[in-house]
Amino acid sequence: MRGPSFYAIRLRIMFLIVTLIGGFLVGGVIETFEDTLEAIVAAAVFIPLVMDMGGNVGTQSSTIFARGLAWSQIHPSQFTAYLFREIRIGFIMGVILGTVAGIAAYFWQGLPNDIPQLGLAVGISLTCVITLGAILGAMLPMIMLRLGFDHGPGADPFITTIKDFSGLWIYFSLVGLLVGVS
């Protein structure tokens, strides 16, 4: 908190450079599924939803980990129990939010555009991405600690990048599969 700004920048920038590269890879996922987007333009509407929700859950999980560690509520010897708890919580939240979003997607873009499967793709994708976000949010800070890195500036950028890449891959794959776009 009181050190020179350059130290903070040096500490943070290395994680952000890695995630900058990851951002280009995420762009590559979108490019890979360009045909799907051209065939089903309505699928683009839900890209921010799929990306943001998983990131938000991942950030929540990593913040809860940091708080639990600081308050001595999480101990490395009990990490497995904590991890399975976060997976369970993430999955349940994923099912709830995925169901709500899937129904909304069905009525908002699926039904009017004669692609009702879009709602199912959004719902399943959101369930997967939220569960993944919870897993990453619980695991990455611990992995970083064990490797000797400060998880404070590093965990969330990695969570976001990994989740964005895999979340979009899951989403576009499901849209292509369920709607029948190759």
Tens digit of pLDDT for each residue in 25-52? 888 888 888 888 887 888 889 999 998 8
- Rounded CA gap, 131 and 37, in Å? 25
pLDDT in tens, 61-89: 888 888 888 888 888 788 899 899 999 99
Please give the average per-residue pLDDT across 94-117, as a whole number: 94
pLDDT at 107: 95
Arithmetic mean of pLDDT, 7-22: 84
Average of per-residue pLDDT values in the chain? 88
pLDDT at 124: 96
Number of domains in the chain: 1
pLDDT score recorded for residue 4: 82
Q: Which pairs with CB-CB distance under 8 Å and at least 24 residues apart come from 109-114?
A: 109/42, 109/45, 109/46, 110/42, 113/40, 113/42
Rounded CA separation 3/114 (Å)? 58
CATH (domain of 95): 1.10.357.20
Does the structure show a pLDDT above 80 at 179? yes
Which range of residues forms the domain containing residue 107? 5-179
Q: What is the mean pLDDT of residues 109-115?
A: 89
pTM: predicted TM-score of the whole model, two decimal places: 0.86
Query: Is pLDDT of 5 > 80?
Result: yes
Q: Are 62 and 156 in contact (CB under 8 A)?
A: yes
Return the half-sphere exposure (C-beta side, CA atoms, 13 A cut-off) of residue 76. 6
CA distance 39 to 180: 10
Sign of CA dihedral 72, 77, 82, 87: positive
The span from the CA of 30 to the CA of 11, in Å, is 30
Give pLDDT, residue 182.
65
Over residues 108-125, mean pLDDT: 92
